[in-house]
Structure 1
Amino acid sequence: MTTATLTNAGTNRGVPTATLLAGGIAVGPLFLGLSLAQVFTRDGFDLSRQPLSLLSLGEYGWIQIANFVLSGLLALAGAAGLRRALRGGPAGTWGPALVAVYGVGSIVAGVLRADPSMGWPVGAPEGSPETMSWHSVGHGVGAMLGFGALMIACLVFARRFLRRGERGWALFSVLSALATMAIMWWPDQDSMSIRLVVGSVVIFGWLSAVSVRVRGNLS
């Protein structure tokens, strides 16, 4: 067995590559599953106008904070797996790096909480706050940086798939980036909280699918 094969299979490292890639697969199901579970169990939360980030506030806010942080750590593990599996090939550097940027952004968004707004938690202003605290600004920067990195990663992997003749996967990657951008940047503030969830489903679905694809190609 060659050194390259050992590296790709992850048998000469502490954590198997397949296990690291499982982190990238799990990011979306964990974050969205735990977030939506809170939406349906935390009294008074209204997803039609209150974004998932606000779940970090209130008595059980620590659950969403942990959700952000754990999702970020899983993304970092997935990025390490992608780097190990793709090293030396197309997207082997920038693809994993961009997924890692998402992981860091998610951790930042978890540690730095958004300001109370949109009536959450109970007693908070009904609209957006007139001024934003430094930690709320940091939360927004972390979230935007993370999702922006994943959209760019879609395009980086699309190039990889094209070079490998996998046109279906290339098209899937491009459409995932464009769909996420259109959904999240659509100029309608009233539907923002719902669109953030839909956009998350698209981009996390892409990350899970690509991680599964790369994991399946391990030697």
Structure 2
Amino acid sequence: MSKGRLVTGPETQANAVRHETLGGSTTLLLLAGTVAGPIFVVLALAQAVLREGFDPLRHAVSQLSLGDGGWVQVANFAVTGLLMLACAIGLRRVLGRGRGGRWAPVLIAVMGVGFVVAAFLPADPGNGFPPGTGSEASFSVTGMLHLACAGIAFIALIAACFVLASRFSRIGWRGWASAGRTSGVLLAIGFAAANSGVVGGPLAMFVGVVIAWLWVGVSAARLAR
């Protein structure tokens, strides 16, 4: 199998040459998606530990964009969103016209755009964070738009897990495909828990995001090979 040719089914010689020609740049684009998840997770965890008053059982990661030092999480959303947009381009190149070749890149691009837009729409304070904020949740237009963008991004990530898993199952990576479907289910459960308002919901959501995003990132790295 020549470098970059992970597409199954009929493929013209011209397409094969195109994959070879774009191999280097495509690899870099795919690896952008590989590093995006770890960057987001490490920065979010560091802030969760260092930011006064933040409780992962009650506060969403989005709230880290508020208050002193909030610019770190704003940058985290924007940079990782741009990295996922780059990954979407790489996926479109390497997946071609096979199963998931259209929808996987679209879904990853939707996730990337959702993160970038959410970066510039601050979340609402609540549950005592940032310090000095009352325990009552507040709702603003920008806060609701932030939730909408982030929600769309995470739903797109869930769907991408299943679409990519379908592709991998088709090319014989059945164990990895099962891991992808499991990742999508875990993120869906965390997403539901976070939106239900139960204690621990934000943490369940974060864990689900970590698992699903890292699976997508490792998938991108495997495709880059």
The answer to whether the 8 A contact 2:37-2:210 is kept is yes
Which residue of 93, 101, 107 maps to 2:110? 101
Q: Cα offset for 1:166? A: 2.1
CA shift, 1:176, in A, is 1.2
**3-state SS of paired residue (2:80):** helix
Tell me the CA shift for residue 215 of structure 1. 0.8
Q: Deviations over 1:63-98 (max 9, x none)?
A: 110100101000000010110111122211111110
Within the candidate set 15, 19, 26, 1:4 is matched to 15
TM-score between the two structures when normalised by the length of structure 2: 0.88
Corresponding residue for residue 183 of structure 1: 190
Is 1:141 aligned with 2:152?
Answer: no
Kindly report which structure 2 residues correspond to 1:65-144, keeping only aligned pairs within 5 A, or say none.
Answer: 65-129=74-138, 132-144=139-151
Identity of aligned residues (%): 38
Using the alignment, how far apart are the partners of 1:183 and 1:115 within structure 2?
20
**Greater mean deviation of Cα atoms: 163-172 or 138-147:** 163-172
CA distance in structure 2 between the partners assigned to 1:10 and 1:66 by the alignment: 33
Show the 5 A alignment for 1:31-50: 31-50=40-59
Q: Structure 1 residues 32 and 10 mapped into 2: Cα distance closer, same or farther (>3 Å)?
A: farther
- Structure 1: state its 5+ residue gaps: none
Letter paired with 2:41: L
Worse overlay, 192-201 or 180-189: 180-189
Which structure 1 residue ranges, 4+ long, deviate > 6 Å from structure 2? none
2:162 to 151, 155, 159: 155
Distance in 1 between the 2:31 and 2:21 partners?
Answer: 13
Q: What's the secondary structure of 1:16's corresponding residue?
A: helix
Q: Is the 8 A contact 2:183 2:208 kept in 1?
A: no
* Separation (CA, whole Å) in 1 of partners of 2:192 and 2:26: 35
Counterpart for residue 64 of structure 1: 73
How far apart, CA to CA, are the structure 2 residues paired with 1:111 and 1:95? 25
Provide the aligned C-alpha RMSD in A: 1.8
Residue number among 33, 46, 50 corresponding to 1:24 in the alignment: 33
Structure 2: 5+ residue stretches without partners: 3-12
Q: Is the 8 A contact 1:9 1:17 kept in 2?
A: no
